[in-house]
Amino acid sequence: MKTTVELPDALLRRAKTIALRRRISFKQLLTKALQREVYPQKTGNADIFKLDEDGLPYIPSRNKKVTDKQVAEILNTEKI
């Protein structure tokens, strides 16, 4: 379905930059963002993992690097 949405210029530029870095389309980025908001997951990861400004996961409360295993789990959860 097509629709028109007005976004602030800075937000649109940032979103397009993130989509490019992730090598996905803007449509895919917007769809994933809306899905996270509309259908929040009830997993433990939602409380532990946060995404930085580039969309990379980190654990703020533990000041730890995210392991490859944790990244694989997130990617599997996100179906990326």
3-state secondary structure the chain: CCCCCCCCHHHHHHHHHHHHHHCCCHHHHHHHHHHHHHCCCCCHHHHHCEECCCCCEEECCCCECCCHHHHHHHHHHHCC
pLDDT value for 18:
92
pLDDT in tens, 28-69: 999 999 988 888 766 555 556 777 777 777 777 765 666 778
Under the banding of pLDDT at 50, 70 and 90, the label for residue 27 is: very high
Q: Say which residue, 18 or 74, is predicted with more confidence.
A: 18
What's the predicted TM-score (pTM) here? Answer: 0.52
pLDDT value for 5:
92
pLDDT value for 29:
94
Q: What are phi and psi of 76, to 5 degrees?
A: -65, -40
Q: Say which residue, 74 or 10, is predicted with more confidence.
A: 10
